[in-house]
Amino acid sequence: MGLLKQIKFETQGDLDMGASTKKTVIFEAPIDKVYEAITSYQDYPDFVEGVSTVNVLEKNDSGARVEYSINMIKKIRYILKMIHNKPHKVEWSLESGDLFKVNSGAWELTDKGDGKTQVDYTVEIDIKGFIPMAGKIVTTLTETQLPKMLKSYEQKAQSL
């Protein structure tokens, strides 16, 4: 099993309401397997901590609409519109949800050869209105869960 190697981690924004984060890592897995792990939305509950259910509403080569139910500090449901550019990029934007005002980002993949893939993961999230503990939810999503989540995608790609 390969090691997830951290290159860069940046967080910007007011963590009381919203934040944008970019993380660049090297996965010890080929680009096609990394892309497959990212776009296997229905499998997320099996390997992404906190994801309780996923309902793929639509999916084709150019994208998907996916409903997520996650458990962080509270249960959160939302639908993301995914845009696929195989095997180099998966972008998303929020279609609807009960907590997020904004949830957008991208996975950008670069083949580094020798079965390695550079992964540039960006996410911007913002919470609707005033919600007690909103800052803690945002911090949990962007700083605590992100490194674990990226490692789980690397492990999934390695298993494919």
State phi, psi for 95 to the nearest 5 degrees: -95, -45
Task: Quote the pLDDT of residue 142.
Answer: 60
The distance of Cα 147 from the centroid of its chain, to the nearest Å, equals 10
Which residue segments constitute the domains of the chain, with CATH numbers given?
5-159 (3.30.530.20)
Cα gap 46→61, rounded to integer Å: 23
**Eight-state DSSP code of residue 116:** E
Q: Let me know if 138 is exposed, middle or buried by CB neighbors in 10 A (0-12, 13-18, 19+).
A: buried
Task: Quote the pLDDT of residue 11.
Answer: 39
Residues in the chain where the model's pLDDT stays below 70: 1-19, 72-73, 129-144
pLDDT digits (tens, 9 = 90+) for 135-155: 565 566 666 677 888 999 999
**pTM score:** 0.82
Which residue's structure tokens are 């993380």? Answer: 23
